[in-house]
């Protein structure tokens, strides 16, 4: 296993165990299989385990396995505060203590604000006393490192990075999200500020393996050296020195062993020009199904009405390159889970964005298509609930 350092020099395995997708037996986690996979991962050097309050049964399962096998002190636990459920500082403490109980521990190594969406949300948490609460937890050692996980565009990510002295962060990043989400620009910005970056969705939930178009599969099949689609995606990430740890939602022993084998042999900067060409060809094959040729550059921003134009187009494209439901889910997360909505329907067709678009996209027209496709009755109901309950 290879390791990279966090902010204070702790060695983190470059492969992290994402605990959201433990194997299931019916509707419940298959404890026996999960235990087998976790112990194998630890035995092979994986020391970063990522879970969250809202991952059903995950924290409790991880805590029980670590306690039973006396492995708590051998690994780092990362979990997340469901800030969208919090209305007071006492609620922060309530959820945190519940997490400690579930995980059967008295401290959390890496604690994240789960899905921090924008600066306004962080300002709301500050008014509730989150900074004093974090300071107290760090002082007592109940939290060792504080960070946030993020879905959204690179501009907002950079603003959040600058909003607090974070110890680390976690972003969605893969070869298809290189210039969307926080993107390469956000990754490099965090690195320049000495903030370790944990990567989630390296395979976009398996879609860069299971849902690749046939043309993309053939490109990988014919490439030299031969690598699985998963290995290509993981090696692309580990090739970058700015990446600290890549989370994989491993739910089979075979997957654990395969990913560990890859993680034990990679080096920063090992990708050749030929390797990058393979990835670009695969991206082109996937992009043949996209609806809007948006690169996520952000030149169209800021929108006078606050529309997240690149984010809206990314979700619209995902609905066609992957699954409709995936696009709808990501659109809800990126546009509705925030104090000020950034939905496509806010567009007033002023046309200012069109003048700045390097791709010459008819942005108002395409935003209308996004609205028709993604702002379903279900979306509108969810947005109403989010706004009413102030879930953001």
More confident: 341 or 242: 242
Give dist(CA 154, CA 310) in Å, integer.
10
More confident: 212 or 134: 134
Ranges 236-250, 286-300, 328-342, most confident? 236-250
DSSP code per residue over 44-82: TT--EEE--TTSTTHHHHHHHHHHHTT-GGGSEEEEEE-
Paired sense of beta strands 28-29 and 24-25, if any: antiparallel
Any idea what the Cα angle at residue 228 is, between residues 224 and 230, rounded to 5°? 130
What tokens does 115 get? 């899905």
Output the average pLDDT for the chain: 93
Residue 213 DSSP class: -
CB distance 342 to 120 below 8 Å: no
Q: Which residues contact 50 (CB under 8 A, 6 or more apart)?
A: 16, 17, 18, 19, 20, 78, 79, 110, 170, 198, 200, 247
Predicted model pTM: 0.80
The reported pLDDT for the residue numbered 356 is 81
Does CATH place domain 3-279 in 3.90.25.10? Answer: no
SS3 171: strand
Segment 372-379 mean pLDDT: 94
More confident: 27 or 235: 235
Q: Residue 286 — pLDDT band, cuts 50, 70, 90? A: confident
Boundaries of every domain in the chain: 3-279, 309-389
Helix (H) or strand (E) holding 326: helix 324-335
CA distances from 40 to 75, 102, 109 (A): 13, 22, 21
Q: Residue 287 — pLDDT band, cuts 50, 70, 90? A: confident
CB distance 342 to 368 below 8 Å: no
Mutual orientation of helices 363-374 and 309-321 as an angle, nearest 10°?
60
Strand segments (E) across 114-185: 143-150, 168-172
Give residue-wise pLDDT tens across range 257-285: 999 999 999 999 999 999 999 999 999 99
Token pair 């924008």 in the structure block, residue: 118
Q: Which residues contact 368 (CB under 8 A, 6 or more apart)?
A: 344, 347
């Amino acid at each position: 296993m290879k390791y990279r350092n966090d902010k204070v020099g702790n060695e983190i395995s470059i492969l992290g165990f994402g605990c959201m997708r433990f194997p299931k037996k019916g509707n419940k986690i298959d404890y026996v299989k999960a235990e087998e996979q976790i112990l194998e991962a630890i035995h092979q050097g994986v020391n970063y385990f990522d879970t969250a309050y809202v991952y059903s049964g995950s924290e409790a399962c991880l805590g029980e396995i670590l306690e039973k096998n006396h492995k708590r002190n051998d690994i780092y636990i990362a979990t997340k505060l469901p800030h969208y459920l919090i209305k007071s500082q006492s609620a922060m403490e309530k959820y945190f203590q519940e997490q400690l109980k579930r995980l059967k521990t008295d401290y959390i190594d890496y604690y994240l604000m789960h899905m921090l969406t924008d600066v306004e949300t962080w300002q709301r948490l500050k008014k509730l006393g989150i900074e004093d609460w974090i300071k107290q937890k760090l002082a007592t050692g109940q939290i060792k490192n504080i960070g946030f996980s993020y879905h959204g565009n690179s501009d907002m990510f950079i603003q959040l990075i600058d909003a607090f002295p974070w110890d680390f962060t976690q972003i969605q990043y893969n070869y298809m999200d290189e210039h969307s989400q926080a993107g390469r620009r956000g990754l490099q910005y965090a690195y320049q500020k000495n903030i370790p970056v944990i990567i989630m969705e390296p395979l976009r939930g398996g879609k860069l393996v299971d849902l690749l178009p046939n043309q993309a599969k053939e490109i990988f099949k014919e490439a030299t050296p031969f690598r699985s689609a998963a290995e290509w995606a993981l090696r692309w990430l580990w090739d970058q020195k700015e990446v600290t740890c890549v989370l994989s939602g491993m739910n089979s022993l075979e997957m654990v062993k395969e990913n560990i084998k890859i993680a034990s042999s990679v080096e920063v900067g090992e990708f050749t020009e030929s390797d990058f060409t393979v990835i670009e060809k695969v991206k082109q094959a996937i992009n043949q199904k996209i609806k809007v040729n948006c690169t996520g550059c952000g030149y169209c921003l800021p929108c006078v009405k606050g529309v997240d134009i690149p984010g809206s187009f990314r979700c619209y494209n995902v609905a066609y390159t992957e699954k409709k439901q995936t696009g709808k889910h990501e659109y809800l997360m990126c546009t509705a889970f925030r104090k000020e909505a950034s939905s496509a329907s806010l567009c007033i067709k002023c046309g200012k964005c069109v003048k700045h678009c390097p791709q010459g996209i008819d942005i108002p027209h395409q935003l209308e298509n996004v609205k028709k496709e993604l702002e379903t009755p279900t979306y509108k109901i969810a947005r109403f609930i989010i706004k009413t309950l102030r879930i953001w």
